[in-house]
Amino acid sequence: MSDLLLTLLLTLDATLRVSSPLILAAMAGLFSERAGVVDIGLEGKMLAAAFAAASVAAVFGSPWLGLAAAIVASCCLALLHGFATITHRGDQIVSGVAINILAAGLTIILGLAWFHQGGLTPALNNESRFLSITLPYVEQLAFIPVLGPIYKELISGHNILVYVAFAVVPLVWWVVFRTRFGLRLRAVGENPKAVDTAGLSVIKLRYQALIVGGILCGIAGAYIGTAYNAQFTRDMTAGQGFIALAALIFGKWRPLTVMLACLLFGFLDALAVRLQGVQIEGFGVIPVQLIEAAPYILTVVLLAGFIGRAIPPKAVGTAYVKER
Amino acid sequence: MKLTKITMALAAGAVVLTASIAQADISPAVVYDKAGKFDKSFNEAVFNGVKRFTADTGISVREVEPTNDAQVEQGLKKLAKRGSSPIVAVGFSQANAVSAAAQAYPDSKFTLIDMVVPEANVQNVVFRAQEGSFLVGALAAMKSETGTVGYVGAMDIPLLAVFGCGYEQGAKHINANINVLHSFIGSTGAAFANPSKGGEVARSQFESGADVVFAAAGSSGVGVIQTAADMGKLAIGVDSNQNYLQPGTVLTSMVKRVGEAAYQSYAAEQNGTWKPGFVSMGLAEGGVDWALDEHNRGLVTADMEAKVNALKAAIIAGELSVHDYMSDNTCNY
């Protein structure tokens, strides 16, 4: 029994690690899309941020400087997206794809030029990374059945950015649904004309949303580059930006459900890793490919049958034109 | 700066001149695979071979670093059109492209590493990776205290199953009761470049009781090695000597001298001995090996070293045969 509990806890523990960047990126997407700007460039922003974080941390030896650099890099790309789509009313998908391509190429070129390791950054030592934190009283509380191990294995022992990711979710909920800024943000994504008529700047609000998204993507990138791993490698975000985007739709653009969607994807990923080669009674070993496909199959099934229609913010994807 | 460049150029020119007296002037080339030439692993090993050839002969080698599949064939054909020969194609994923390019340019010579295509102008270099994997598996079993060791491959494909199968045989040779875990990172080429997932897979093996994990997964292996260091366990590198990545927690590396293959292919062309067909490189030819250097010296006792070298000698002498997964697509040995 306790073995099973431990296995479950370790799987959930992995779920938290895998989900954290997804949650941060999905929250970034939530801000942007709630304001009416499609953000397909999450992947590129995370990649650029991961590169910036790993480079700066390698050169200056501080993960915090790395994090700052990641946020700056990600915000620069967010502003570029804004400049193309808000100021110049360009197509949001095209601009987002361009950002992904730009980030993929630029990280390698800059890495080549700066570090001469073919687009990799130097490996970070422990002082220049975000390391796991052991929460207080872990050993003292370990004797409590069930709760003790949960505290020790599941809640304690993550790096600080994991805790940040989960703290961000209620914060995002509060900002989007309980503040004046949030109300305006949602309005600008549903009916920008009304916001404009009320005397508020649609352009300014959308830029603000993109900057918030840029900051969150920056944290996600720093997590991937300097906490989860210890150096930048080519294309290391490996499609997580797109998974975050799927989670955003899956969770219907609401912070709590989006977080649950991210956790579900993370859990399936963690489970897939642990189910490999496991014998199932009367079934034999499940093929790796089937386990790997499981998250996608489940997504399709859930999307098709269970969660109902996902309705995006009404004005998403269209540039705001003040006068015709 | 300028002066050194000129001197270097002059020196290189002099070498070319002296070399061309005895040997044919060739214009070699290489097409890396998509992981890029500095992946700290497979491609980097080829790059080092290329660099060494240039240093030894003064002959520069044209390089192509494709970023997608379409560019591989374009790159091969462009090099053939410009008269480069032999053209070294790195990695199993280039097989179709090499086949197409070889048919389009029958007068050019191609050397394909890690895969076989039956064309009259292609030399196919394959490595008996099972032999090197056997040695590192044996070392892993000697070092393991938990009685469980792990293998992490990028994809569940025969080429990588060869590593896992050889590793398992080596481990079982030392300790018949040892438990060998096999896991894979993904089912697409992206599995070779996903260090986060690599680390996660390795972590699950460590949590299942393994204390030594062997990674054959391109740059995803960097994540495996990092996780081993974070958790205070041991990892085994692959292709290049990766002992230096985390000194003290990389037990050894299963070195696949792909650079040697590129070097020898160029050298053979220079001497006029380049032949199409099938070249197999194992322990005997120095194509695969295990790595022992100052970074893992402290982890390997003299006794272990002697035992591994004895196994190596036995394999070379033919007294010990290692089953090749590819020969029948099973790991029954």
Cα distance between residue B250 and residue B213, in whole Å: 9
Mark the ranges of chain B whose per-residue pLDDT is less than 50: 1, 13-22
Tokens 């796991």 sit at which residue?
A132
For the stretch A263-283, what's the b/e string if a residue is b when 16 or more beta carbons lie within 10 angstroms of its beta carbon? bbbbbbbbbbbbbbeeeeeee
Given an 8 Å threshold on Cβ–Cβ distance, is B183 in contact with A10? no
Give which of B39, B47, B200, B225 to mutate to test A binding, by max A Cβ within 10 Å.
B200
Angle (nearest 5°) at CA A10 between A134 and A255: 80
Cα distance between residue B134 and residue B138, in whole Å: 6
Give residue-wise pLDDT tens across range A198-215: 999 999 999 999 999 999
What confidence score (pLDDT) does residue B327 get?
86
Cα distance between residue A28 and residue A42, in whole Å: 8
Sign of CA dihedral B279, B282, B284, B286: positive
User: Cα-atom radius of gyration of chain A, to the nearest Å?
Assistant: 21
Comparing alpha-carbon positions, the chain B residue that sits nearest to A14 is B200
The beta-carbon neighbor of B195 closest among A117, A119, A229 is A229
B60 conformational bin, left if phi > 0, alpha if psi -120 to 50, beta if neither: beta
Residue B194, phi then psi, degrees to nearest 5: -135, 75
Least trusted range by pLDDT, from A121-130, A143-152, A210-219: A143-152
What confidence score (pLDDT) does residue A139 get?
82
Residues of B with CB under 8 A from a CB of A: 35-40, 44, 156, 181-184, 186-187, 190, 193-197, 199-201, 203-204, 207, 219, 222-223, 226, 245-246
Given an 8 Å threshold on Cβ–Cβ distance, is B204 in contact with A233? no
Instruction: Measure in Å the smallest separation between the Cα of B90 and chain A Cα atoms.
Output: 16
The two three-digit tokens of residue A286, written as one number: 């499940």
Give which of B33, B37, B38 to mutate to test A binding, by max A Cβ within 10 Å.
B38
**Does residue A63 carry a pLDDT above 70?**
yes
The beta-carbon neighbor of A224 closest among B186, B196, B207 is B196
Instruction: Measure in Å the smallest separation between the Cα of A61 and chain B Cα atoms.
Output: 17
Residue B77 CA, distance from chain mean position: 24
The band of A253, judged by pLDDT with boundaries at 50, 70 and 90, is: very high
Q: Please, what is the average pLDDT of chain B? A: 89
A137 conformational bin, left if phi > 0, alpha if psi -120 to 50, beta if neither: left
Given an 8 Å threshold on Cβ–Cβ distance, is A273 in contact with B245? no
Cα distance between residue A47 and residue A66, in whole Å: 13
Give the closest residue to A52 by CA, choosing from A126, A117, A118, A103.
A103
Neighboring chain B residues of A276 at a CB cutoff of 8 Å: 182-184, 201
Mean pLDDT value across residues A75-91: 96
Residue A31, phi then psi, degrees to nearest 5: -60, -50
What confidence score (pLDDT) does residue A249 get?
87
The band of A120, judged by pLDDT with boundaries at 50, 70 and 90, is: confident
Strands B277-281 and B122-127: parallel
The band of A35, judged by pLDDT with boundaries at 50, 70 and 90, is: very high
Strands A132-133 and B288-290: unpaired
A321 conformational bin, left if phi > 0, alpha if psi -120 to 50, beta if neither: beta
Tokens 């000698």 sit at which residue?
B313
Mean pLDDT value across residues A81-88: 95
What confidence score (pLDDT) does residue A71 get?
98
Given an 8 Å threshold on Cβ–Cβ distance, is B199 in contact with A120? no
Tokens 């299963």 sit at which residue?
B254
What confidence score (pLDDT) does residue A298 get?
75
Q: Which helix (H) or strand (E) holds B307?
A: helix B302-317
Q: Is B288 strand, coil or helix? A: strand
The two three-digit tokens of residue A306, written as one number: 């269970």
**Does residue A30 carry a pLDDT above 80?**
yes
Q: Which domains does chain B have, with CATH numbers?
A: 2-127+258-281 (3.40.50.2300), 129-255+301-328 (3.40.50.2300)
What confidence score (pLDDT) does residue A103 get?
96
* Cβ-contact B246, B226 below 8 angstroms: yes
Given an 8 Å threshold on Cβ–Cβ distance, is B187 in contact with A235? no
Give which of B201, B203, B204 to mutate to test A binding, by max A Cβ within 10 Å.
B204
Least trusted range by pLDDT, from A17-31, A140-154, A194-208, B52-66: A140-154
Given an 8 Å threshold on Cβ–Cβ distance, is A123 in contact with B226? yes
For the stretch A287-318, what's the b/e string if a residue is b when 16 or more beta carbons lie within 10 angstroms of its beta carbon? ebeebbebbeeebeeeeeeeeeeeebbebbee
The beta-carbon neighbor of B222 closest among A108, A233, A274 is A233
Comparing alpha-carbon positions, the chain B residue that sits nearest to A291 is B186
What confidence score (pLDDT) does residue A255 get?
96
Amino acid at A50: A
Give residue-wise pLDDT tens across range B279-328: 999 999 889 999 999 999 999 999 999 999 999 999 999 999 999 998 88
Q: How many CB atoms lie within 10 A of CB A160?
A: 15
Mean pLDDT value across residues A50-67: 96
* Cβ-contact A171, A25 below 8 angstroms: no
What confidence score (pLDDT) does residue A152 get?
83
Neighboring chain A residues of B200 at a CB cutoff of 8 Å: 14, 17-18, 269-270, 273
Give the closest residue to B208 by CA, choosing from A215, A273, A111, A263.
A273
* Cβ-contact A128, A62 below 8 angstroms: yes
Angle (nearest 5°) at CA A274 between A273 and A279: 120
Percent of chain A residues past pLDDT 70, beyond the cut = 96
* Cβ-contact B84, B266 below 8 angstroms: no
Instruction: Measure in Å the smallest separation between the Cα of B182 and chain A Cα atoms.
Output: 7
* Cβ-contact A248, A26 below 8 angstroms: yes
**Does residue A132 carry a pLDDT above 80?**
yes
Cα distance between residue A238 and residue B196, in whole Å: 9
* Cβ-contact B119, B103 below 8 angstroms: yes
Q: Which residues partner with B85 through β-bridges?
A: B27
In chain A, where the domains are located: 2-130+144-238
For the stretch B174-200, what's the b/e string if a residue is b when 16 or more beta carbons lie within 10 angstroms of its beta carbon? beeebebbbbbbbbebbbbbbbbbbbb
Mean pLDDT value across residues A232-254: 90
Give residue-wise pLDDT tens across range A265-315: 899 888 888 887 677 666 677 777 777 777 678 777 877 767 677 788 998
Given an 8 Å threshold on Cβ–Cβ distance, is A229 in contact with B190? no
Q: Which of residues 197-226 of A touch B (CB under 8 A)?
A: 224
Q: Which of residues 271-310 of A touch B (CB under 8 A)?
A: 273-274, 276-277, 288-289, 292
Given an 8 Å threshold on Cβ–Cβ distance, is A238 in contact with B196? yes
Neighboring chain B residues of A236 at a CB cutoff of 8 Å: 193-196
The beta-carbon neighbor of B201 closest among A118, A233, A273 is A273
